[in-house]
Amino acid sequence: MFGWLAGIATLMAVLIGSVVASGSFGERETLSSTVGQATRPVIIGIAISVIPGLMYFTALRSVANDLKTGGGRGATGVARLLELRRLLSRQTNIFGILLTLIVVATGLRRRALLKHDPSLDIPVEQVLVYGLTFAAVLLLFHSTASSALSALGRNLLEEYAPVPDIDDPELADSLKNRTAVSSLLVGRTTRQTFENTLVIASPLLTALVSAAIS
């Protein structure tokens, strides 16, 4: 899994770098020596710098899987699960902002080139492709880490609040306790789900806004 995700990240960076480096935005030779060449190294550098951030998600997944197979028990397991979730949330927010800024930079680069020469053929769809690609990649890597944390949470749930027997005289209280523990270890609030969705979709939303105002 780690090698597969690393390959996706590397491929994404290579594709972005090759698109920018090859001058696929359609700028003429005169512009290549000004705006194009000035911004190209920055965009390539940012695209390559994305790879370590993506690997952070796979590291969180790996730690969660290790805790699930052994060592993730009791209060220590709960504490580690909550810490991993905090780290995942922080990384998702940081990465969402970074990818959104890349989309903004791409849109500004397009506008700068068109300002130099309005006759250039630089379709706005190129910015949309960036936004869609970044949103999909962020969703993929966030989902792989999040699913591993959910699996760890379910293991801890069965340890702390297993499914009660139907003949249990305190069935109602046991189910209520299981629901409360499940919300802590497995479930997500509507607000958390909305925030994650907004952050993950932010590169695409930014590209759509950029296309609308172009």
Per-residue pLDDT tens digits for 78-132: 889 889 999 998 888 888 888 888 788 778 877 877 777 777 777 777 778 878 8
Per-residue pLDDT tens digits for 140-193: 888 889 889 988 888 888 888 777 777 777 777 878 877 878 877 886 655 667
Q: Is residue 3 part of a domain?
A: no
Q: Is residue 95 part of a domain?
A: yes
- The span from the CA of 63 to the CA of 80, in Å, is 10
Q: Average per-residue pLDDT in the chain?
A: 75
Supply the range of the domain harboring residue 162: 51-213
Statement: residue 22 has pLDDT above 50:
no
- Torsion sign across C-alpha atoms 55, 95, 140, 142: positive
- With a CB cutoff of 8 Å and minimum separation 6, the contacts of 152 are 64, 65, 67, 68, 72, 77, 81, 84
pTM of full prediction above 0.85: no
- The span from the CA of 137 to the CA of 186, in Å, is 24
Q: Is residue 129 part of a domain?
A: yes
Q: Is residue 163 part of a domain?
A: yes
Count of domains observed in the chain: 1
Q: Is residue 20 part of a domain?
A: no
Statement: residue 135 has pLDDT above 80:
yes
Q: Is residue 117 part of a domain?
A: yes
- Token look-up 């970074």 returns 98
- With a CB cutoff of 8 Å and minimum separation 6, the contacts of 189 are 183
Q: Is residue 149 part of a domain?
A: yes
Virtual torsion, Cα 114, 109, 202, 133, nearest 10 deg: 90
Per-residue pLDDT tens digits for 57-89: 888 999 998 888 876 677 888 889 889 999 998
- The span from the CA of 55 to the CA of 79, in Å, is 23
